[in-house]
Structure 1
């Protein structure tokens, strides 16, 4: 598999946020979730860069961005995105967010007041309560998890990641997902981002969804075992004028399992060629 690299850097209060820009055309920003990185959005980035200028980055605490001890919660990720939008000089780009990335998009729009031309949310962590028993256990015992032997840690990450997919993930892709979470820095960063995950960050914006006036497309993997499809239906009803489309044969990791189907829905929406109907 071709190595995934982010060639550029933006400073966020002394912490490096790695990013890339690809293509030519109207600006589109893509935001990944957890425990993923921009690598997992590569299919969407590559497809859309034929017609758009695609801006992508790794969240702080993830992938190739700064993974040193510090705040990596949803409470800081919207501030990072706000900083990047200034760095890129983007006023009202199209934007796509998956998982925590979708939450980051919503928080940046509703808390930081950043305008987006159109918003695409893919299996977002948008409704409280959320957080698996695994998340709760890590929050209670972060230090103990961070101290497990490396081989046990890697087995934990691999098993955890596999639960996000409807079908088994190929080994090369799984290796690339797990790699940033290995080594002393990566291992600590993996448990840090889970320990700092809290539904209170969703509570802050959930009541504001009715204020969203921009067009919103919600995409959901039908077999999502992390966040049930019913959450997508609820979110659609909470955001005025939004639409929901369900992607078959895909789980929460729909960005890896069915990227072509996602692009088929995303491209006409962001090109404003069609107004998608509700699912």
Structure 2
């Protein structure tokens, strides 16, 4: 089973490249969502997506990036797939809310305490038991002096105004949209998926059983199947 997860994490586009261009947008600095041929896109890259042939797949804060790029930046997408996105307030786990209030205290934690916090935090986003070797790509960027400071800094910079500014415009989404949500998401409850689906005209919601916030880790085959079905329908 681990090989299936690795294949999805590092090269899902072997299945998606048949659908013109598919872009995967994730939060800056995040790892392990999509990579290589799936063309992971930062906010700067997303701003350059001006053609309708680009299908966008966005997870977590990548969802906020994609929605803002589409609705505030005026960029058209061929399709939009939102996977457990940060899109509707309120959002943020109790840990995130606490860190936002005490960034300085956390950034100065002893290294050994920080090394225990980060894996526990990431494991809260996955329903299954995640082996250390699979967890490592998520944890490694946030370790060491630079990584630790960056980890707490990026949490402190999470501001709900970025979603509050765009949420009233979701009724203006102008491309076929799919919302995928892990049924057991402990970071952003699955009820948000229904709210988002109802806010976006014609959007389809698919709740993925036995999956947490990192649904691509818990149920990679379900995510790929949903994407293939959605993109195939939009080609016809």
Question: TM-score normalized by structure 2?
Answer: 0.86
The yes-or-no answer on 1:41 pairing with 2:34 is yes
Stretch deviating more after TM superposition (25-34 or 197-206): 25-34
Tell me if structure 2 keeps the 8 A contact 1:131–1:199. no
The yes-or-no answer on 1:172 pairing with 2:133 is yes
- Deviation for aligned residue 1:122: 0.5
Other-structure match for 2:25? 31
The yes-or-no answer on 1:81 pairing with 2:46 is yes
- Aligned in 2, Cα 1:80/1:94: closer, same or farther, shift over 3 Å? closer
Tell me if structure 2 keeps the 8 A contact 1:222–1:247. yes
Q: Which has the higher contact order (CA 8 A, sep 6+)?
A: 2
Distance, in Å, in 2 between the alignment partners of 1:147 and 1:158 is 18
- Deviation for aligned residue 1:35: 7.5
| 1:99 aligned residue (44, 60, 67) | 60
Distance, in Å, in 2 between the alignment partners of 1:273 and 1:144 is 49
> Any gaps of 5 or more consecutive residues in structure 1?
5-19, 60-76
- Size of the aligned set, in residue pairs, is 224
Other-structure match for 2:39? 55
> Any gaps of 5 or more consecutive residues in structure 2?
none
Question: TM-score normalized by structure 1?
Answer: 0.74
- Deviation for aligned residue 1:103: 1.2
C-alpha RMSD over aligned residues: 2.5
Query: Could you say which structure has the higher helix fraction?
Result: 2
